[in-house]
Amino acid sequence: MPFWKHTYHIVWATKNRQPWIRPDYEERLYAFLKSKAGELDCYLYAVNGLEEHTHVVASIPPKHSVAWFVKTMKGASAYFINTAVRPPAFHFVWQRGYGSLTIGERQREAAVAYVNLQKQHHLNNTTIAWLERCEDEQDEDDEYTEDASSGRSLKEDAAEYDIWDDSIE
């Protein structure tokens, strides 16, 4: 068995950012995601979000790609909501795409805290843009550098988890 430590902060959204993650079944969805991750030999350190997007901090073994993990989690959870929860007013669908950032062991605790405090971060406008991004759209402020091997690469400021914000209670 190989040694590995691959931890990711991943975010994905509902179709067209519709507010479909309702308080009456939000906890059931998160419990399902944790259980499904275990079935996949992955581990969720944290899962949380708002009515239109979900964040997870996950360890994914090298036998799975991040894309496969996200596709499987999104597909299984949409099926779970549509068959077990059965929302009467809509058919639950996740939006295409996701955001994924690798995190080191030293950042994991802060990433877990950031995810666990999602609602407070959005309420207090203390979100971190790079950690909320799940579309592959170029922002006006994005800077690119020329890279001889791959053409263009995104130049980014370091994203730091700031969980010691006094405005969050």
Contact 47, 9 (CB under 8 A): no
Contact 10, 40 (CB under 8 A): no
What's the full length of the chain, in residues? 169
Determine the pLDDT at residue 26. 96
As a whole number of angstroms, the distance between CA 167 and CA 16 comes to 30
Express each pLDDT in 48-94 by its tens digit.
999 999 999 999 999 999 999 999 999 999 999 999 999 888 999 99
As a whole number of angstroms, the distance between CA 53 and CA 56 comes to 10
CATH of the domain at 115: 3.30.70.1290
168 is a domain residue: no
Contact 33, 42 (CB under 8 A): no
Total domains in the chain come to: 1
165 is a domain residue: no
pLDDT of 150 over the 50 cut: no
* Structural domain that includes position 145: 7-155
As a whole number of angstroms, the distance between CA 14 and CA 92 comes to 8
117 is a domain residue: yes
1 is a domain residue: no
100 is a domain residue: yes
118 is a domain residue: yes
Express each pLDDT in 8-49 by its tens digit.
999 999 999 999 999 999 999 999 999 999 999 999 999 999
Determine the pLDDT at residue 132. 87
161 is a domain residue: no
Structure tokens at 113: 């805290």
Closest CA to 55 of 47, 64, 65: 47
As a whole number of angstroms, the distance between CA 69 and CA 73 comes to 6
Contact 64, 108 (CB under 8 A): no
103 is a domain residue: yes
Backbone angles phi, psi at 118, to 5 degrees: -55, -50
